[in-house]
Amino acid sequence: MNRNRWIVVAGVVGVVAAAAFFIWFFGRSTPEEVSLEGAVGALTTTTTTVAAGSDDTTTTTTSGSTDTGVEGTWTVDTSIGEFNFEDATSSFAGFRINEELSGLGSVTAVGRTPGVSGNFTLEGTTMTNASFEADLTRIVTDDSRRDNAARRSLEVTTFPTATFTVTSPIDLGVEPTEGTSLSVMASGDLTIHGVTQQVEFPLEAQLVGNVIVVVGSINIVFADYGVELPSAPIVLSVEDNGILEVQLFFTKS
């Protein structure tokens, strides 16, 4: 009798645990893909505070063009916006990978890091000297276990950063003006996991007040960079490629 009672209790506990897991899993919100519209919408005229463990800093974006024109050096401004996994209004770099989970089907794993830096120079209608860096040790996802798996896969203790350096000047066609979006293809060297590949990185940009907003995404094959995908009992398969995406806010130095 006692044995049967414990079997029933164990069964009830198992059902409750499974139900809780399904509620947690399917109740999660996957962040939207980066878009120029979304990034521009994140800029407001109110003061914002930077998060993600750095010193509290505030900045206010304003409407209208920059007083001194757009020529000069523009630098990633990490004081703009607030970083969180679900709805980052700050600068970040990240990845999106499709997974197939046992009993759950297809999901998209998303990871992001607010640790971004870089700059570029505008000379008339040409962008030059552009380079960007992402701190992979600060990657966050929807779950700390996935954080650790992503960092192990990228071997961030040995290769803590990813970089993209533009190797050819980019002709914008026109000088950036308030409210006008531009689409360009940036040729450059992308370095991940200590391996460098030459890529064509599509980017979109728009001048909003005293800020230049830049977003872009590119598909990469992990094997090209020597990255071994993480595995777990619940993970049936992981695609061998994924999306690298960036959302960057620049102010003139």
pLDDT tens-digit series, residues 9-65: 444 444 333 333 333 333 356 789 999 999 999 885 433 444 344 444 444 444 444
201-242: per-residue pLDDT in tens? 999 999 999 999 999 999 999 999 998 876 554 443 456 889
CATH 3.90.1530.10 fits 31-252, yes or no: no
Going from N- to C-terminal start, the domains of the chain cover 1-30, 31-252
pLDDT at 144 over 50: yes
Higher pLDDT, 250 or 98: 250
The two tokens of residue 170 are: 């980019």
193-210: per-residue pLDDT in tens? 999 999 999 999 999 999
Higher pLDDT, 136 or 99: 136
Q: Write down the pLDDT at residue 141.
A: 87
Q: Write down the pLDDT at residue 37.
A: 94
87-126: per-residue pLDDT in tens? 889 999 999 888 665 444 567 889 999 999 999 999 999 9
Q: Write down the pLDDT at residue 238.
A: 55
Q: Taken in order 83, 89, 93, 99, is the CA torsion positive or negative?
A: positive
CA 46/CA 52 separation, integer angstroms: 19
Burial profile 44-83: b = 16 or more Cβ within 10 angstroms, e = fewer: eeeebebebeeeeeebebeeeebeeebeeebebbbbbbeb
pLDDT at 164 over 70: yes
Among candidate residues 233, 229, 14, 12, the one with its CA nearest the CA of residue 103: 233
- Is residue 233 within 8 A of residue 201, CB to CB? The reply is no
Number of neighbouring beta carbons within 10 Å of residue 241:
13
pLDDT interval class at 173 (50, 70, 90): very high
Higher pLDDT, 46 or 138: 138
Contacts of 59 (CB under 8 A, 6+ apart): 47, 48, 77, 79, 80
